[in-house]
């Protein structure tokens, strides 16, 4: 898979670790920045990375800021993005299995190197299970389109 990655200055060190993990797992990693510890605004990075995923220039993406919250909020504003802030392996796995997330958001300040590896590995190796979860993901797509999800029976994205 082609994995886009981006961080603000607070997520830069974690981003460097994640790039190595992604490569070790056999995926291509495309770094959208930032390139150091100088302050940058996380919405700028979230936007360009999320656009790369929504426009199929990357299969999935990983975004990192101090808490992961800002990246998650900003990325989810881009049509077609399902970004999840994950703090452990379970939330990473479920975000893929149940929600078919295409962007993983992480905290650069709150997650150590060992847990970071476990989260990234779980997220990259878990597939979407579909089934009853597809109906729910389709309803998320309906909301994104401004429709009432309660009016859908078997909607799809």
Residues belonging to the active site: 65, 98
Cβ-based neighbour number of residue 36 at 10 Å: 9
Q: Report how far residue 8's alpha carbon sits from residue 34's, in angstroms, rounded to the nearest whole number.
A: 6
- Tell me if 22 sits within 8 A of 3, measured CB to CB: yes
Burial class (CB in 10 A: 0-12, 13-18, 19+), 34: buried
The helix (H) or strand (E) run that includes residue 47 is: helix 42-54
Which residues pair with residue 104 across a beta bridge? 62, 84
91: tokens are: 């939330």
- Tell me if 4 sits within 8 A of 32, measured CB to CB: yes
87: tokens are: 């703090």
Token pair 């990473």 is at which residue? 92
């Amino acid at each position: 898979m082609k994995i886009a990655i981006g961080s603000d200055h607070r997520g830069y060190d974690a981003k460097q670790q994640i790039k190595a993990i992604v490569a070790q797992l056999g995926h291509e990693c495309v770094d959208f920045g930032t390139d150091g510890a100088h302050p940058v605004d996380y919405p700028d990075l979230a936007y360009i990375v999320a656009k790369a995923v929504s426009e199929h220039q990357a299969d999935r993406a990983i975004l990192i800021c101090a808490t992961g919250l800002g990246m998650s909020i900003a990325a989810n504003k881009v049509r077609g993005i399902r970004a999840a802030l994950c703090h452990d392996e379970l939330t990473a796995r479920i975000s893929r299995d149940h929600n078919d997330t295409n962007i993983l958001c992480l905290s650069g300040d709150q997650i150590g190197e060992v847990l970071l590896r476990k989260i990234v590995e779980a997220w990259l190796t878990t597939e979407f299970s579909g089934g009853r979860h597809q109906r729910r993901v389709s309803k998320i797509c309906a909301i994104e389109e401004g429709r009432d999800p309660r009016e859908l029976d078997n909607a799809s994205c």
